[in-house]
Amino acid sequence: MLTPVNTILVLANVVVFMILSFLGNTTDAEFMAAHGAMDWMDVVEKHQYYRLFTSMFLHFGADHLLQNMLILLVIGCRLERITGKLSYLLIYIGAGLIGAGTSIIFTLGNNPNTVSAGASGAIFGVMGGLLYCIISDIIQKKRHRVEEIGLTGMIFMVASALSYGFFSTGIDNAAHIGGLVGGFLITMISRFVI
């Protein structure tokens, strides 16, 4: 069942991709950097920090978009139903920004010519949020809506997604790990604050 915030986030990613596809080649790093993707010079040297946000809505080609949006549709709605609209939006955006920040430090810092974009940091944040909810339910001995996934299933999902990144080229693993940890922590904090 679709939820409003997650659906809007998926649609925003798709619309941005369609607009950029009309304007040029979304697989071209220069084109993507010119339209809001992250690169060392623009973010660090020119202080264009907005790119940490805009890069979350950019994808290198249709395959990149499709893969990310399918995962987001499957897991995002579930986390939004558990945490609520506002918390979910904060988890998604916050984890995406943390993922982008870790990407700047570890990926672009090591290779300044790299151009980075994609929603995967935020999506890993959603995984981290679900992982927190499952662990929290186990500790509190509560039955929750994430029970059908289970801790083992969630760990397998995270491990397989991370391993895909480590065994493939052109994947920003720093963004994935940063997003995962960020999503876990933001979900934990939001449960007490919001």
Instruction: Report, as residue numbers or ranges, the catalytic residues.
Output: 120, 176
Q: How far apart are CA 127 and CA 161, in angstroms?
A: 10
- For residue 150, give both structure tokens: 């289970």
Q: How far apart are CA 37 and CA 52, in angstroms?
A: 8
DSSP string of 87-155? Answer: HHHHHHHHHHHHHHHHIIIIIITT-TT-EE--SHHHHHHHHHHHHHHHHHHHHHT---TTTTTHHHHHH
Q: How far apart are CA 185 and CA 128, in angstroms?
A: 8
What is the maximum span of the chain, computed from C-alpha positions, in angstroms?
Answer: 52
